[in-house]
Copies of this chain bind each other. A is one copy, B any other.
Amino acid sequence: MKKVAEQISGYTYGDAGVSPVSLQDLENLKISVGWTGEDEQYRRMAGEVLSDQTRPLVDHWRRGIIASIPNLIRHSRTPDGEPLPDYQTKSGLRFEQWVLDTCFRPYDQDWLNYQQEIALRHTSLKKNLTDGVNSTPHVPLRDIIAFIAVMNETIKPYLAAKGHTTEDVEKMHRAWTKSLQLQVALWAQPYSNAEW
């Protein structure tokens, strides 16, 4: 499995708690999102294209965009607004690895379990714990859902950076956006009532 670094602090893939979401729920969600064999193929192509660009991509999102939005950057800082460089570095590596996992990991039980771990790390149940930091207690669900649009918009030039045809870039982008919508549906689970 491709990794962005030898050691990724707090990256417990394969060793996370069992998700309350079943594999059957996941299959149904893949249908709701319109996931196809072509998307499966093109998410891998996206992974090949992105694999040496995860650092600039995540920097673009975090330093280029989030850092200039006070309502978002506060979740990476102390309650007083002080930077937490070690937290930024560690969560940044996991963010990079998430890009690769989105493209390459099989969407199976281990993936589902780690999706739940990612979800919980946005909520007050697990945020700050992994890295032992003092920051905001949770990231609001609404901002997570909203920021997906930004990631979808800004990833396109990175998908086009290796000279693929417009059609291939479109198909990679389509697979990416569907996967993110699937993932944000999963991340909503711990914020939600029984009607999730």
A161 within 8 A of B: no
Q: What is the total number of residues of chain A having a CB less than 8 Å from a CB of chain B?
A: 41
Question: How far apart are A126's CB and chain B's nearest CB, in angstroms?
Answer: 12
Majority SS at the chain A contact face = helix
Q: Are A142 and B34 in contact, CB atoms less than 8 angstroms apart?
A: no
Q: Are A142 and B189 in contact, CB atoms less than 8 angstroms apart?
A: yes
Residues of B within 8 A of A34 (CB): 65, 149-150, 153
Per the bound structure, the CA–CA distance linking A149 and B34 in Å amounts to 7
Q: Pick the interface stretch among A93-101, A104-112, A180-188.
A: A180-188
Taken together, the copies of this chain in the complex come to: 2
Residues of B within 8 A of A71 (CB): 28, 31-32
Question: How far apart are A73's CB and chain B's nearest CB, in angstroms?
Answer: 12
Q: Are B178 and A149 in contact, CB atoms less than 8 angstroms apart?
A: yes
Residues of B within 8 A of A188 (CB): 141-142, 145, 188, 191-192
Residues of B within 8 A of A186 (CB): 142
A123 within 8 A of B: yes
Beyond the given A32-B143, A124-B195, could you list 8 further A-B residue pairs with CB under 8 A, ordered by the A residue number?
A: A29-B142, A29-B143, A31-B71, A33-B147, A142-B188, A145-B145, A146-B182, A149-B177
